[in-house]
Amino acid sequence: MARLKDKRTIVTGAGSGIGRASARLFAKEGALVLAVDRDGDKVAAVAAEIADAGGRCIAMAADAGSEADVKAYVAKAVSEFGGLDAIYANAGISGGLTPFFEQTVEQWQEILRINLIGPFLAIREVAPLMIRQGSGAIVCTASVAGLRANAGGSPYSASKAGVVSLVQTAANAFYGTGVRVNAVCPGLIETGMTVPIFDHARQRGTEGKLGQLNPLTRPGQPEEIAAMALFLASDEASYVNGQAFPVDGGLTSTLPFAGQRPR
């Protein structure tokens, strides 16, 4: 059964990691996918890979934090697909780990522009069309970093806390329209963004410790986030609205605790 059969969708940040896995899964489940990334070569390769596997996907290079580019990618999806049923506003940057008291206004502005204003623009630009058709599913990528400290730099955490709030306020802005807005809050996932963490651990031989703070005691894979994005984008989530769901192996379920395996 195709869970997104003939749904017209957009995935941003689709050139790598969670966005790539989601574009692949959406297409596999029958969707038409506009795969957007600021790295045009990477996203073209993803679209080609999906087409090779028999999926329907077109690629577009765009900056998800630029107002003009967001208007352009939404217009492209509508002209190519004749409408839009779901969007996954996933593109984001970590912004590095500059110590708190050394961070600059420019660093904060760039992270907020891409990670928070980008999803806001995506929501605003798809709104007239989705309101007119009386349906639509919007999914954003927040993070466990938006729920607690110490999963990224401070502007990154603030941007992701903003995304959690954004999906709450946007869901209510769509009051009575049938349009749903939700977010996924990934834990530690092995993607382009976390390559330095994984490489560092492998070099030190501490790879086995990655993910030890969650009760599944392992990091996640991009496909495990794509599975939640697929659910939220699909009609299966028809009564799910205004929520941000951790997909983190249980990381945010607990206070700091030295876990023990059961005997």
Q: Judged by CB under 6 A, which of 9, 90, 157, 182 binds ligand NAD?
A: 90
Q: Judged by CB under 6 A, which of 7, 28, 63, 210 binds ligand NAD?
A: 63
Sorted by sequence, the CB contacts under 8 Å of residue 185 that are 6+ apart come out as: 142, 143, 144, 146, 147, 160, 164, 244, 245, 246, 247, 248, 252
189 contacts ligand NAD (rule: CB under 6 A): yes
Report the site for ligand NAD in 101-130 (rule: CB under 6 A): 114
35 contacts ligand NAD (rule: CB under 6 A): no
212 contacts ligand NAD (rule: CB under 6 A): no
Query: For the purposes of burial, counting CB atoms within 10 Å of the CB of 228, is it exposed (0-12), middle (13-18) or buried (19 or more)?
Result: buried
3-state secondary structure of 5: coil
Return the H-helix or E-strand segment holding 27.
helix 17-28
Q: Judged by CB under 6 A, which of 9, 157, 191, 234 binds ligand NAD?
A: 191
15 contacts ligand NAD (rule: CB under 6 A): yes
Q: In what order do the strands lie in the sheet with 244-247?
A: 56-61, 32-37, 8-12, 86-89, 136-141, 179-186, 244-247
List 73, 156, 175, 239, catalytic entry: 156
Q: What are the structure tokens assigned to 243, written together?
A: 């929520």
Q: Looking at beta carbons only, is 58 or 93 nearer to ligand NAD? A: 93
Contact positions vs ligand NAD (CB under 6 A): 12-13, 15-19, 37-39, 42, 63-65, 90-93, 114, 141, 143, 186, 188-189, 191-194
